[in-house]
């Protein structure tokens, strides 16, 4: 996918071409996909702390099933199914971060209560992207890359066209899938190797994950360098400093429960750096929104003018047909009223007008930030946890100061309910922006995608609630079998605010850090993102970007440069898809109680040796070879 500007961009399906997009078949299939991916991600997230991308496998499965079972060959139909699948993953990502904490505290939750909270957060997440769609998707085209949207687009286009492009995508799927199976499936090597650097008191990592290589190639060198610079500052600046000073203190320093002298670099990152990073991410989001406000307002004004002119002439292109702004405002007000006056369930207090207003405000603000993050690194790497931490700290503090929640026990539950709705909304906004981007690239109708997502959301919300209740009854949430790690962190934060034990100093340092980056004239969000996430993730993305730069250098003076880059994007899309598909297979096996990691464990220390994970270098070599090799398409060009 070339990085055209807004002026020269033409969607794959022209506005003059009419293809079926929404019908009973696509809606039913989309609902099924939404429910499956939501339930699977809730289950996997509560057990392991990770979720799996849905848009890419949804595009592959949707295209295949529509062709094979229903003899349908409309790329717009397949795009709609993929978009509905993605919203299932998005709401699940929001649910697992917060709501299980309420159950872990010993409070009762029902499938209905979880479904209502999820629906409220999910609908807010969808509608809050609508006013910004023109700016984020159209005006920022060529700037915000949306790497996973490009992957979905390439898969849909090449599955539709066939030929050499499809062959390249299939090669990527095979390579990415095999690599994921060897690492994440049978655990022959660890996917997150770390090398301790004892003299500095830190460590270096390189995530051996195929999809990150593809993401790096798609986003390019500039974003990758800024992310990696943030990671370097965290892991080779802040962590060594904390370790150097902390080694002299025999007691634990809040918020860590153990002395720093007994901690490794990963633990220091978990207990200290993440709070600083959350403050920096929040600050970066605020600065980004303020800087973009004039452009957003202008873009929105121009879009309205264009729509009025087209309506006057009787012609409105489908790419400009969106959910009306009046609906956006009405739904936002409705969400505010529901959250203010209706208790979620018996025993859980209503939020009240002040807290409900803050939930709407935080969902709106961080929804735009979430969309920009997905535009930078994709939904799979979206730091929803950082935005949720910032939201929870604000909400819990307001609840404590105002005394709205009553006692400490009811206040912390109220804080999680409020943060849960906001978190689901934030996570959903990122996924929706990603789906609307590949809809723009394909040539679909935004309004049809948005309303189809509403429909899928209703079913997935209650299905997700059922999975949570089922897991709690079978294994008990918070146990070794279902640890719910992210919800455990949010539980600790809510308790910390109510008891006064919260590391505000670290969060404020992050805020100052973000302001400092801004004053230097550097992109705050990209650097803050690298600071917040593990260094191995940024390192792997940088390698993918360097491969793209290598291709640029090698073919700089050749007429084949654009073809080589296009082939690399196709291969990257396939690799990301293969990684996601096998990730789903692994999740399914885990759900059935089948753990294949015994194969890797049988190899003894080899599977745990971080140096063995450098098989990732072999994957890079294969990527370079396939991207730079000549083929029929090159010979035709010549």
Q: Is residue 578 part of a domain?
A: no
Tens digits of residue pLDDT in 216-251: 898 889 889 999 999 999 999 999 999 999 998 999
- Pick from 466, 553, 473, 438: nearest CA to 12: 438
φ and ψ of 288, to 5 deg: -60, -40
Determine the structural domain holding residue 98 and report its residue range: 24-161+231-536
Instruction: Give the phi and the psi of residue 586 in degrees, each rounded to 5.
Output: -65, -40
Strand pairing class (194-197; 202-205): antiparallel
How many structural domains does the chain have?
Answer: 1
- Judge if the upstream peptide bond of residue 255 is cis by omega within 30 degrees of 0: yes
Residue written as tokens 């609906």?
327
The position carrying tokens 């004892």 is 198
Query: Is 430 within a domain?
Result: yes
- For 302-358, the pLDDT digits (tens) are 656 655 555 555 567 888 888 888 888 899 899 898 888 766 554 566 788 999 999
Asked if 85 contacts 159 with a C-beta cutoff of 8 angstroms, the reply is: no
CA gap 358, 391 in Å, rounded: 9
Q: What pLDDT score was predicted for residue 572?
A: 87
**In-domain check, residue 131:** yes
Measured CA distances, 81 to 92, 105, 217, 568 (Å):
18, 38, 26, 26
pLDDT in the model for residue 580: 72
CA distance 434 to 443: 14
Token pair in block for residue 323 = 């959910």
Structure tokens that stand for 575 in this block: 């690799």
Q: Is residue 634 included in any domain, yes or no?
A: no
DSSP 8-state class, residue 556: T
Would you give the distance in Å from CA 598 to the centre of its chain?
Answer: 30
Residue with tokens 């939201």: 391
Residue 551 within any structural domain of the chain: no
pTM of the predicted model, to two decimals?
A: 0.81
Question: Looking at the domain assignment, is residue 607 inside a domain?
Answer: no
CB 582 within 8 A of CB 177: yes
Is residue 82 included in any domain, yes or no?
yes
Least confident of 401-415, 478-492, 494-508, 520-534: 478-492
CA 127 to chain centre: 18
HSE-up of residue 413 (Cα within 13 Å, Cβ side):
21
d(CA 81, CA 456): 10
Determine, yes or no, domain membership for 541: no
Long-range contacts of 270-273 (CB under 8 A, 24+ apart): 272/238, 272/242, 272/503, 272/506, 273/234, 273/238, 273/239, 273/531, 273/532
Q: Residue 452 — pLDDT band, cuts 50, 70, 90?
A: very high
- How far apart CA 395 and CA 282 sit, in angstroms, is 14
Q: Which of 8-17, 74-83, 346-355, 467-476 has the highest mean pLDDT?
A: 74-83
Quote the CA–CA distance of 253 and 251 in Å, as a whole number. 6
Q: 6: how many CB neighbours lie within 10 A of its CB?
A: 12
């Amino acid at each position: 996918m070339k990085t055209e500007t807004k002026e020269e961009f033409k969607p794959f399906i022209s506005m003059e071409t009419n293809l079926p997009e929404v019908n009973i078949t696509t809606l039913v299939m989309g609902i099924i996909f939404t429910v499956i991916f939501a339930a699977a991600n809730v289950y996997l997230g509560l057990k392991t702390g990770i979720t799996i991308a849905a848009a890419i496998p949804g595009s592959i499965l949707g295209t295949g099933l529509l062709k094979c079972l229903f003899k349908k060959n409309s790329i717009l139909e397949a795009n709609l199914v993929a978009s509905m699948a993605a919203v299932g993953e998005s709401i699940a990502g929001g649910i697992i971060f917060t709501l299980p904490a309420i159950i872990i505290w010993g409070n009762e939750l029902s499938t209905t209560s979880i479904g209502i909270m999820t629906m409220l957060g999910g609908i807010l997440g969808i509608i809050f992207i609508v006013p910004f769609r023109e700016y984020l998707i159209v005006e920022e085209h060529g700037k915000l890359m949306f790497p996973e949207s490009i992957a979905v687009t390439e898969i849909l286009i090449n599955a539709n066209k066939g030929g050499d492009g499809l062959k390249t995508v299939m090669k990527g799927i095979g390579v990415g899938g095999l690599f994921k199976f060897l690492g994440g499936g049978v655990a022959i090597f660890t996917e997150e190797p770390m090398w301790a650097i004892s003299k500095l008191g830190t460590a270096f990592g390189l995530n051996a994950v195929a999809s990150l290589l593809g993401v790096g190639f798609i986003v390019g060198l500039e974003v990758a360098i800024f992310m990696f610079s943030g990671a370097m500052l965290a892991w080779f600046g802040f962590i060594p400093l904390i370790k150097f000073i902390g080694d002299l203190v025999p007691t634990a320093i809040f918020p860590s429960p153990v002395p720093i002298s007994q901690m490794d670099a990963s633990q220091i990152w978990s207990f200290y750096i993440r709070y600083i990073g959350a403050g920096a991410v929040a600050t970066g989001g605020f600065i980004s929104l303020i800087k973009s406000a004039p452009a957003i307002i202008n873009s929105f004004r121009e879009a309205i003018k264009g729509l009025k002119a087209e309506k006057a002439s009787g012609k409105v292109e489908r790419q400009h047909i969106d959910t009306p702004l009046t609906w956006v405002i009405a739904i936002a007000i409705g969400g505010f009223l529901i959250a203010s006056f209706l208790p979620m369930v018996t025993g859980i207090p209503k939020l009240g007008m002040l807290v409900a207003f803050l939930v709407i405000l935080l969902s709106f603000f961080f929804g735009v930030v979430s969309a920009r993050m997905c535009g930078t690194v994709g939904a799979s790497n979206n730091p929803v946890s950082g935005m949720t931490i910032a939201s929870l700290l604000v909400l819990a503090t307001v609840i404590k100061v105002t005394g709205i929640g009553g006692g400490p026990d009811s206040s912390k539950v109220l804080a999680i309910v409020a943060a849960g709705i906001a978190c689901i909304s934030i996570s959903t906004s990122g996924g929706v922006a990603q789906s609307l981007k590949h809809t723009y690239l394909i040539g679909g109708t935004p309004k049809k995608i948005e309303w189809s997502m509403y429909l899928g959301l209703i079913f997935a919300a209650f299905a997700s609630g059922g999975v949570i209740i089922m897991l709690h009854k079978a294994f008990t949430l918070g146990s070794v079998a279902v640890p719910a790690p992210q919800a455990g962190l949010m539980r600790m934060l809510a308790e910390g605010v109510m008891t006064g034990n919260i590391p505000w100093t670290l969060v404020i340092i992050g805020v100052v850090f973000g302001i400092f980056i801004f004053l230097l004239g550097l992109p705050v969000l990209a650097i803050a993102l690298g600071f917040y996430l593990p260094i191995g993730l940024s390192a792997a993305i940088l390698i993918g970007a360097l491969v793209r730069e290598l291709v640029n250098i090698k073919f700089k003076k050749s007429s084949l440069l654009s073809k080589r880059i296009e082939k690399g994007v196709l291969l990257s899309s396939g690799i990301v898809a293969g990684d996601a598909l096998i990730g789903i297979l692994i999740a399914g096996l885990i759900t059935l109680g089948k753990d294949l990691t015994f194969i890797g464990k049988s190899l003894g220390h080899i599977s745990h040796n971080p140096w063995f994970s450098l098989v990732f270098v072999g994957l890079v070599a294969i990527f370079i070879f396939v991207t730079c090799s000549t083929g029929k398409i090159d010979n035709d060009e010549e």
